[in-house]
Structure 1
Amino acid sequence: MDQIKIRDLEVFCNHGVFQEENVLGQKFLVSATLFTNTRKAGLEDELSESIHYGEVSHVITDFMKQHTFKLIETVAEQLARKLLLETRHLEKIQLEIKKPWAPVGLPLDYVSVEITRGWHEAYIALGSNMGDKRAFLDHAVEALGEVEGCQVVRVSEYIETEPYGGVEQDTFLNGALKLRTLLPPEELLQLLQQIEAQAGRERIVRWGPRTLDLDILFYDDAVISTELLTVPHVELQLRSFVLQPLMQLCPYKRHPLLGKTVEELWNALG
């Protein structure tokens, strides 16, 4: 991805743990690498197809002057979020906040915090087999779309499927959606569980009936295996009620472990 760089933008503002830092203020240096696609702007010589680094520099300056935080970690996190939410064409940002006058009582050039944040692509499975199934799925889609830093890009059709796992219960209504999000995988999982809880989800019987079931199927091309989360979703390739909605959303998405596309997995399932 192409990069636009802003280096050592000087801002005098009031961030720091000590009260005198908040009152008297001090100098900060901000560097930002903006990841975007400059191809169209370069071919058409059109600024609206790129990122206006002058406007971004003013946003950085205004944000840092208008807020006061104890930690430069917080400055970096909140500033990166603001720029990603409000800057057209910005896909990822690498941000460094330098503090040349850090009160440590020792000679140094500066201390700094550097972070990288960006938009991610996730695919979420939707399922319900209790109560008003369609209403539960619609609510989940709406709830995700209302979260700052989450954008529902596309939703599959809902399909009726037989229960999975051998537990006797009502048929399911299943679907999937494509999500653009700033949330890392663990925070996205927490959000999905919160939405499930709002729908009255209870985890009593494995593969048992549920008002709402939300699962992360893919997160970019990440492979995650922790105590709380496994991505790509376990047995995704064996579940027609997962693959069929994905066929509508991303037939050419490649499973990062199996090396096969969703379409190939669907055909192999027969």
Structure 2
Amino acid sequence: MVTAYIGIGSNLGDRSANIDKGVFRLKTTDGIVVKKISTIYETDPVGVPPQGKFLNGVIEVESALLPSDLLDCLKDIELDLGRVTTERNAPRTIDLVILLYGDYQMESAHIEIPHPRMREREFVLRGLREIAPEVCL
């Protein structure tokens, strides 16, 4: 099992319920054990067209899945919870991203680990300090 950190967010519909559903789905997925969940913060959108505020947090998991399989799992959860991905940076019912996956580093057309913009997201920095103060960015 590898310790991974997942960013979770929602700025469309019932944001709080969307976050709860996303966490529930992670908790009930084979190969993933949810260990800790940060405080959920209300944040302004960053680097996207004008849209509603987000609820965002960070989740620590233990994963038996490879990074690509974990990403596929997160994308499946997003689709099941109504995320539409026709337009980049559009409002979303749920957003699940791999921030860190152990000490693993990779870059491809579909995934970059560590997440390239996590240091620009205050909710990520605050969430990681809260649930994993030993993690150095």
TM-score computed with the length of structure 1 as normaliser: 0.49
Computing the radius of gyration over CA atoms, which structure comes out larger, 1 or 2?
1
- Paired position in structure 1 for 2:128: 246
Name the CA distance, whole Å, in 2 between partners of 1:221 and 1:254. Answer: 11
Cα distance in structure 2, aligned partners of 1:237 and 1:251: 15
Instruction: Check the 8 A contact 1:164/1:207 in 2, yes or no.
Output: no
Q: Which has the higher contact order (CA 8 A, sep 6+)?
A: 2
Which residue of the partner structure matches residue 46 of structure 2?
164
Paired residue for 1:37? none
Partner of 2:16: 134
Q: 1:147 aligns with which of 29, 33, 53?
A: 29
Higher percent of residues as helix: 1
* Runs of 4+ in structure 1 over 6 Å off: none
Aligned partners of 2:134, 2:89: CA distance in 1, in Å? 29
- Structure 2: runs of 5 or more not aligned: none
Look up the equivalent residue of 1:230 and give its one-letter code.
E
2:59 equivalent to 1:177: yes
Unpaired runs of 5+ residues, structure 1, are: 1-118, 256-270
User: Could you tell me how far 1:241 is from its partner in structure 2?
Assistant: 2.3
Q: Which amino acid aligns with 2:100?
A: F
1:237 positional shift: 1.0
Structure 1 position 206, deviation (Å): 2.3
* Secondary structure at the counterpart of residue 254 of structure 1: coil
Letter in 2 for 1:126: I
> 8 Å contact 1:152–1:180 — kept in the other structure?
yes
Deviation sequence 1:50-100 (CA, Å, 0-9, x none): xxxxxxxxxxxxxxxxxxxxxxxxxxxxxxxxxxxxxxxxxxxxxxxxxxx
Take 1:204 and 1:211, find their aligned partners in 2: how far apart are those partners? 13
Measure how far apart 1:127 and its partner are: 0.4
Q: Counterpart of 2:85 in 1: which secondary structure? A: coil
Q: Which amino acid aligns with 1:197?
A: L
Match of 1:219 in 2: 101
Task: Give the secondary structure class of the aligned counterpart of 2:135.
Answer: coil
Cα-Cα RMSD:
1.1
Q: Distance in 2 between matches of 1:177 and 1:166?
A: 23
TM value normalised by structure 2: 0.95
